[in-house]
Structure 1
Amino acid sequence: MVSRRSILLSLLLAPLAACSSKFKTYNGPEVTRVVVYKGRRKMYLLHHDQVLKAYDIDLGFAPEGHKQFEGDGRTPEGDYTIDRRNPNSKFHLSVGISYPNARDVEVARALGKSPGGDIFIHGQPNAFKPKGRDWTWGCISVKNHEIEDIYAMVNDGTVISIYP
């Protein structure tokens, strides 16, 4: 037989369990564009010209310049789109960036290299804790609670502009 105390405890704990999910919902204005300023280490989610959210970011371990080939540690620069999401990311959650585009492939091939891919906005690693700034292989990293918001707010097809 279930005691009254057990039922009350369950009712009190249920809202806390719901809050612990990494999958949030968002009902605000549509994010129409994501803007990243690599030099400032800032990312903004915009509704047209209105900033909805701003984030401090970490970048690839070689943050200066545009990504040219796989393994160079650089974060791409230019206009791309958010094109996929990974709910089972090794970095909490992640949303994909459409790198490489045709020009990126052309530049890498001219260097005799692969352009690489798998560039994401993601949270912190599940397996290790990064030391210092700019530790990714070319991705854009935010805190885990921030990627939860980004994952909920930014739809596939949203333009992302990445500036030096």
Structure 2
Amino acid sequence: MKRRNLILGGTALVALGACSSSKFKRYNGPQVTYVIVNKGDRRMYLMHHDKVLESYDIKLGFAPVGHKVYEGDGRTPEGIYMIDRRNPNSRFHLSIGINYPNEMDRARAEALGKSPGGDIFIHGQKTAKDKNRTDWTWGCISVSNDEMEEIYAMVGDNTPIALNP
């Protein structure tokens, strides 16, 4: 009886270990010193000084051309910003925040009598099938969930990000 329980217990532990996979990865490589997003090419690059560490295909806001002007316009911002926060409980798997809007963004929206919006993130998808969709966000940058796990591990807070047209 002892032997049977031991075998069944060991089998259960192995099965549970195989089922558990964390969305939180470790990264021990060179520091990501900045991020480049080229909206026109739909590519994002994680850089260590002048060396590309990783690159990813991206999806943007549903109105991808031009700089974000106000909340709800469906555009992804353009300019130099910073990664300023992370959300391990995002509705979109994982996410890291971009410090949009800056003072200029607020002034531009205010001149139109609108809110500049906010909550611009690099994030994964709600479901795995989202990865094949065209530009679909409200102004964020989307990658696959597996890619977001890598990015979340590699990119630290206070990392500059250049969002190019």
With the shorter chain as reference, the TM-score category is: over 0.9
Task: Sort the Cα spacing of 1:50 and 1:128 in 2 relative to 1 into closer, same or farther, 3 A.
Answer: closer
CA contact (8 A) 1:90 1:127 kept: no
In structure 1, give the amino acid aligned to 2:39. Answer: K
5+ residue gaps, structure 1, are none
2:64 maps to 63
1:157 maps to 158
1:118 maps to 119
Write the distance in 1 (CA, Å) between the matches of 2:44 and 2:130.
21
Report Cα offsets for 1:111-149 as digits up to 9, x if no partner.
Answer: 110000000000001598477311000000000000001
Write the distance in 1 (CA, Å) between the matches of 2:144 and 2:128.
15
TM-score (norm 2): 0.92
CA contact (8 A) 2:128 2:144 kept: no
Write the distance in 2 (CA, Å) between the matches of 1:114 and 1:64.
19
CA contact (8 A) 1:22 1:148 kept: yes
SS at match of 2:61: coil
Task: Sort the Cα spacing of 1:130 and 1:70 in 2 relative to 1 into closer, same or farther, 3 A.
Answer: farther
In structure 2, give the amino acid aligned to 1:76. Answer: P
Write the distance in 2 (CA, Å) between the matches of 1:42 and 1:155.
19
Write the distance in 2 (CA, Å) between the matches of 1:150 and 1:108.
30
Number of positions where the alignment pairs a residue of Structure 1 with one of Structure 2: 163
Structure 1 residue 7: Cα displacement: 4.1
TM-score (norm 1): 0.92
- Within 5 Å, give how 1:111-150 maps onto structure 2: 111-126=112-127, 129=130, 132-150=133-151
2:53 maps to 52
1:6 maps to 8
**Greater C-alpha radius of gyration:** 2
SS at match of 2:71: coil
Structure 1 residue 11: Cα displacement: 5.1
More helix by share: 2
SS at match of 1:52: strand
Identity of aligned residues (%): 63
Task: Sort the Cα spacing of 1:138 and 1:25 in 2 relative to 1 into closer, same or farther, 3 A.
Answer: same
Task: Sort the Cα spacing of 1:53 and 1:131 in 2 relative to 1 into closer, same or farther, 3 A.
Answer: closer
CA contact (8 A) 1:45 1:52 kept: yes
SS at match of 1:81: strand
Write the distance in 1 (CA, Å) between the matches of 2:154 and 2:45.
12
Structure 1 residue 9: Cα displacement: 1.9
1:101 maps to 102
Write the distance in 1 (CA, Å) between the matches of 2:19 and 2:129.
25
